[in-house]
Structure 1
Amino acid sequence: MTSFRVITLLAFALCCLPSFVFGQNLPVEFREFEAYEDNPVFKSAPGEWDALIRERGWILKDGDQYRMWYTGYNPDQKPLTMKLGYATSLDGIHWTRHSENPIYDDFWIEDMMVVKRQDTFYMFAEGQRDQPHLLTSEDGIRWTRQGGLDVRLTSGRKIPAGPYGTPTAWFENGTWYLFYERRDAGIWLATSTDMQVWTNVSDDPLIVPGPEKYDRLMIAMNQIVKHNDRYFAVMHGTGTATKPRDWCTWFAVSDDLKHWEKCVGGPVLPIAENKSSGVLVHDGQRFRLYTMHAKVDLHYAK
């Protein structure tokens, strides 16, 4: 075979490869982030009820205001309970804690996220022992617990007993989508039209750890963002076998919320920085990436 023909065939093969091989499944807005020079923008309050901040919190730009919900706890206070804190900001950098914090402590609140739909806020959170539950609010401050999430197998039977945490919700065209992990060993999806019963799309996970080293042991999904008519999941994972683990932030992409590909390029922040529980927020000009465990750091899209 002549060298010219080899080159021609190789060029044709490269053109026919899926675009994600070249990283084009990750938009330029999500490829590189630069840390804000005065991080952290929010941190725990030693000696107080929120002496430590735990796992995923949530930041929402609501009109001209940034709103943050976070999990706080004090390991010296018994019994140990994860409580809900709230803070606001005009610039997403300088935050003021709510005067009545914690705003909710009737039930264990951890690893939460918020969906605002019309005039109602929906909070999906882990309870004790990684049992997810739903809360609602009209103002984002006073919350009412609606109960645990009833997740079923495709057969209609309840999923096996055990933890199912990091609930991440998305609403579109009359359907709620609930992503959850089980022992950080994969991401499952269940859907509902009434928020009373959630049924698995598949009893097998849609996203699994690895084979890359940075997430080969554990993964979780923190957020869904729709951008350029595609769905992007803010993920975190670890390949560190011993504790304390180093967690990293990365992205996955889908066209239908059911079939996912990990975005090329791997972690968008250095693994050694151990930044996880990422949340994307568009500030009107560009995306910001906040990481929220165990302090809140801000990163600007370059």
Structure 2
Amino acid sequence: MSFRLQRHPQSPVMIPDPTSTWECYNVFNPSVIYHNGLFHMHYRAQGLDWVSRIGYAVSVDGVHWNRLREPVLAPSDGTDSRGIEDPRVVALDDAFYMTYTAYGREFLGQGEPTHLGGGILPMIARSENLITWERIGPMVVGEDNKDHVLFPRKIGGRYAAFHRRWPHVWLAYSEDLRTWPEEWMAPIYGPRPDNWWDATSVGSNGVPIETEHGWLCLNHGYTTQVHDSANSLGQGSTVTRVYRLGVILLDLEDPTRVINRPKEPIFWPEELWELRGDVPNVVFSNANPVVDGTVYVYYGGADHVIGLATCSLDELVDYARFG
């Protein structure tokens, strides 16, 4: 059984703005939430200083977008001084929560530095209007951690989230979205060494989709390939990574239990703007809202532009169950 997402004929749906100083080079890896009859996008952007900020855009049809002229979330201190990356937004408890990656310095503090890992922290922010955001803080410290996303409802009376302790995807729980006890964390799945497309690394995509059959979760992965090649300086080698998208089905009340994980990907780079860009051979998604039975998968193409692919929710669930 095979399945693949279908590119929207008007993709890419957003490109950099050459008149802007902060989003003139790259716009990519967006979050999209459907709320009050509108598509709301938060996207990662890079401009003249190559620092990532989060922009905002709104759309009636999910294809044509009007964006704000200024970012809605920008670096503020040492925790995210080098960039704010890869937002994922969910509606929860009458508010909106954004998980994002803070890219900062490796050491923070005065005097003797405080070690927070390599400066890649899984952060959470809160908003009531999707424009103004209040930082809550990191899920974990002391390690590089990212690809985190909140579930759209509590599970067993607690907030739940994916995060990644490379190379595995983990599940975490919290009572207040501020403290995530280590004893409430557990790995779910990791790379498949015998599989051709996700043998090296995997990570979570957008907000999990609740269905009667389980949590439908899109993910990404790649397999590292090293190629020997001769060049003008002598013998050398090149490393190829092709990011592809897959799907996994998890138990509704115990998401650490994998119901099914199809072996084949559902999407991969093919268009020129996915094969060439700031980072080539990449389709990377943080967003999969469902509107009127259609799954809208927004993704970054080669870390440069934003694309859209769609599919039927029913057909995707069938593939997740039986693929």
TM range (shorter): 0.7 to 0.9
The answer to whether structure 1 residue 102 and structure 2 residue 65 are counterparts is no
Structure-2 residue corresponding to 1:205 = 187
Name the aligned partner's letter for residue 40 of structure 1.
Answer: P
**Percent identity between the two aligned chains:** 23
The answer to whether structure 1 residue 267 and structure 2 residue 265 are counterparts is yes
Aligned Cα root-mean-square deviation (Å): 2.4
Structure 2 residue runs of 5 or longer lacking an equivalent are 104-118, 226-237, 275-281, 313-323
Name the aligned partner's letter for residue 102 of structure 1.
Answer: P
The answer to whether structure 1 residue 167 and structure 2 residue 148 are counterparts is yes
Structure 1 210/51 Cα, relative in aligned 2: closer, same or farther at 3 Å?
farther
Name the aligned partner's letter for residue 112 of structure 1.
Answer: P
- Provide the aligned length of Structure 1 versus Structure 2: 260
Higher-strand-fraction structure: 2
Instruction: State the Cα distance separating 1:285 from its structure 2 match.
Output: 3.7
Secondary structure in 1 matching 2:244? strand
Structure 1 61/195 Cα, relative in aligned 2: closer, same or farther at 3 Å?
same
Structure 1 residue runs of 5 or longer lacking an equivalent are 1-21, 24-30, 152-158
Structure-2 residue corresponding to 1:291 = 299
Name the aligned partner's letter for residue 72 of structure 2.
Answer: I
* Residue 59 (structure 1) aligned to one of 6, 9, 32: 32
Name the aligned partner's letter for residue 301 of structure 1.
Answer: C
Structure-1 residue corresponding to 2:211 = 227
In 2, distance between residues paired with 1:96 and 1:243? 38
Secondary structure in 2 matching 1:214? coil
The answer to whether structure 1 residue 252 and structure 2 residue 261 are counterparts is no
What do the CA deviations read for 1:85-144 (whole angstroms, capped 9, x no partner)? 000000000011113x21221433212211212431111111013211121111010111
What do the CA deviations read for 1:152-178 (whole angstroms, capped 9, x no partner)? xxxxxxx7x320111111132431112
In 2, distance between residues paired with 1:278 and 1:167? 10
Instruction: State the Cα distance separating 1:32 from its structure 2 match.
Output: 3.1
In 2, distance between residues paired with 1:130 and 1:47? 30
Name the aligned partner's letter for residue 8 of structure 2.
Answer: Y
The answer to whether structure 1 residue 195 and structure 2 residue 177 are counterparts is yes
Structure-1 residue corresponding to 2:113 = none
The answer to whether structure 1 residue 140 and structure 2 residue 130 are counterparts is yes
The answer to whether structure 1 residue 83 and structure 2 residue 64 are counterparts is no
The answer to whether structure 1 residue 177 and structure 2 residue 160 are counterparts is yes
Structure-1 residue corresponding to 2:289 = 281
